Amino acid sequence: MADNNALPLVILAEQFAKLPGIGMKTAQRLAYAVMSMSDEDARQFSDAIMSVKNDVGYCKVCQNLTEYEVCPICSDPDRDQTVICVVETPKDVSAFERTNEYVGTYHVLHGLLSPINGVGPDNIRIKELLDRVKNVDVREIIMATNPTVEGEATAMYIARLLKPMGIKVTRLAYGLPLGADLEYVDEITISRSLEGRTTLKGEEK
């Protein structure tokens, strides 16, 4: 922002600009929008940010974001606990839930294997998945990582780890475009990719 702007507005715009997909011009508009809020709206906005930071954590079962020790999906008796859909981010859980068709549970990795970026198995929630399947009767793991190089590598790596346990591991069918991000894929395509999923052998190449 220009030097003639009040310093608090400049600082606020710079904070907004740190958010994904927010450029400086948009950040400036957001800063001015906050300035136009009533005191009560501004207080609620601030409280919502702090509540997210202070009150949201990880479900001890699936690692999804939740304000509870166990998230509503994992604690729902109507969900099929024997099927686990493995996804990269909490946003992917939301994408599947929009279909209103998947009735199993999830496991959120919070990342994908990417050796070139220094992301190995210990940097994402693979251990938590392995611990989980050792203690629960699981009949199928659906690998729903994005169809990228990292997503495919992560799916195959986990499939190899699960193979000795005798658990069926499947992969989403590819009505999904190569390189697609599940967050932006429509509900019908996701539903069809679930219906047409294929078995992953987890074989060493």
Alpha helices in 108-186 (DSSP H): 126-135, 149-162
Residue type, position 153, single letter = A
The yes-or-no answer to whether 7-55 and 76-199 have a common fold is: no
pLDDT at 205: 43
Let me know if domain 7-55 sits in CATH 1.10.8.420.
yes
Third-level CATH fold of 76-199: Dna Topoisomerase Vi A Subunit; Chain: A, domain 2 (3.40.1360)
pLDDT at 146: 84
Residues of the chain with pLDDT under 70: 1-4, 174-196, 198, 201-205
pLDDT at 126: 97
pLDDT at 10: 94
Enumerate the domain spans of the chain. 7-55, 76-199
pLDDT at 127: 96
